[in-house]
Amino acid sequence: MLWNAAARRAARNEGSVADILKTDDALDAALAILARGGIVAVPTETVYGLAGDATNGAAVARIFEAKRRPHFNPLIAHVADMAMAERLAEFDPVSRQLAAAFWPGPLTLVLRLKANSPIHPLVTAGLPTVALRMPGGFAHELIAAFGRPLAAPSANSSGRITATTAEAVAADLGDRLELIVDGGATPVGLESTIVKAEASGVRVLRPGGIAADAIETAAGVRLLREATHGIQAPGMLASHYAPGAAVRPNAQDVREGEALLAFGPERIEGAARAVAVMNLSARGDLREAAAHLFSYLAELDRSGAATIAVEPVPSEGLGEAINDRLARAAAPRDGTDAGD
Ligand code: AMP
Ligand code: MG
């Protein structure tokens, strides 16, 4: 099957091992890889990140593929300056104040996506919000030179320990990457603190490299420490990104009145009666399918069909995360989630 071969080729950088370059020598090589939609492991002050162009769905799909993450959770988009940040998201006054106090640094702000934000929906997992952070050091220099935001989750396989040295990245992902930028051990060694400004105060969504008290002082507002299960658990997010239409994954036929989310070159029975059709990837490429998933679900939802029938997608490579997302969209919305 076409997608088997493609997924396997894509999933590894066959037989080769990543180059490791020191930060002083790595900028041009890293830029060249990012410009063609590739991914690079880079040091940040928190942990090593697996970075790709946050405006390019194929690049973001490669990040999930390299991490072998069995589901899509939203990623943090990294910016170089406030001008870039304001092109991507709407800032409220408290968030702007926090950015002024802590950027560059290990603080991530969850903000409303700006209309026409160039952030790809695979970065936000289809949410109307985006998590933004401005890193310092090499990552900062790289984003400024690239001129576009970088999505960069931690540079480790899903379920493995977070990498804080280039050697740790190489041991885990070395055969799936072209380039690892070596900036030595990361100074903070912890993920960023994620916060969201709300009407009643600033909510901590994930504790991390900046202490909650420091945030409270800088923001001059109350910190909402009590965990809202809903926002913290990606499960609540799941109901946010579920489409209004019912989703029927692994469909063997299209029923009257249904829209069709297709995959691959061949159509299931009754496809001609679909009220709207989008094909995740006509050539059966899982990376392309991943990049299209959220926007195509949203587009079929807008067709007004009560149900979206989805053709079978093989559960290998990125297919696992695609099927996970489809199953969540299909499931009753109970607000629980396995998390990451
Ligand atoms: P990381 O793996 O360090 O990139 O962290 C990503 C974390 O940010 C995940 O735990 C997400 O749940 C969280 N996150 C990213 N985007 C959003 C968002 N729009 N709303 C809420 N949380 C988010
Ligand atoms: Mg991680």
Take atom 13 of ligand 1 and give the residue whose Cα is closest: 74
Residue bearing the CA closest to ligand 1, atom 3: 153
* pLDDT recorded at residue 333: 53
Spatial separation of the C-alpha atoms in residues 188 and 280, rounded to whole Å: 40
Q: DSSP secondary-structure letter at 163?
A: P
pTM of the model as a whole:
0.83
In one-letter notation, the amino acid at residue 320 is: E
pLDDT in tens, 203-251: 989 888 888 888 988 888 888 876 554 444 333 444 445 678 999 999 9
The hierarchical CATH code for the domain 5-224 is: 3.90.870.10
Which residues of the chain form CATH 3.90.870.10?
A: 5-224
Residues with Cβ < 8 Å from 78, sequence gap 6 or more?
44, 49, 51, 54, 132, 133, 134, 135, 139, 143, 149, 150, 151, 152
pLDDT digits (tens, 9 = 90+) for 23-38: 999 999 999 999 999 9
* Residues bordering ligand 2, an ion, CB closer than 5 Å: 154
Q: Which atom of ligand 1 is nearest to the CA of 234?
A: 12
Round to whole Å and give the CA distance between 118 and 55: 6
Instruction: For 12, list phi and psi in degrees, rounded to 5.
Output: -140, 160
Higher-scoring residue by pLDDT: 190, 230: 190
pLDDT for the residue numbered 337: 38
* Cα–ligand 1 centroid distance for 171 (angstroms): 25
- Which atom of ligand 1 sits closest to the CA of residue 192? 3
Q: 72 or 133, which is more confident?
A: 133
CA angle, 12 as apex, 151 and 152 as ends, to 5°? 10
Nearest C-alpha to atom 7 of ligand 1 is from which residue? 75
For atom 1 of ligand 1, which residue has the closest CA?
153
C-alpha 226 to ligand 2 mean position (Å): 23
Q: How far is the CA of 73 from the centre of ligand 1 (A)?
A: 7
Distance 36 CA to ligand 1 centre (A): 25
From the number of C-beta atoms within 10 Å of its C-beta (0-12, 13-18, 19+), residue 222 rates as exposed
Protein residue with least CA distance to atom 21, ligand 1: 110
Using one digit for the tens of pLDDT, what is the confidence trace for 258-287? 999 999 999 999 999 999 999 999 999 998
Contacts of 64 (CB under 8 A, 6+ apart): 72, 122, 290, 318, 321
The burial class, CB within 10 Å (0-12 / 13-18 / 19+), for 289 is: buried
pLDDT at residue 60 is higher than 90: yes
Could you tell me how far CA 139 lies from the centroid of its own chain? Answer: 17
What is the rounded CA–CA span in Å between residue 122 and residue 247?
18
For residue 156, the CA-to-ligand 2 centroid distance in Å is: 7
**Is the peptide bond prior to 104 cis by the omega test (within 30 degrees of 0)?**
yes
- Say yes or no to pLDDT of 288 above 80: yes
What residues have CB less than 8 Å from 313, skipping those under 6 apart?
249, 263, 280, 286, 289, 319, 322, 323, 326
Span 90-106, mean pLDDT? 96
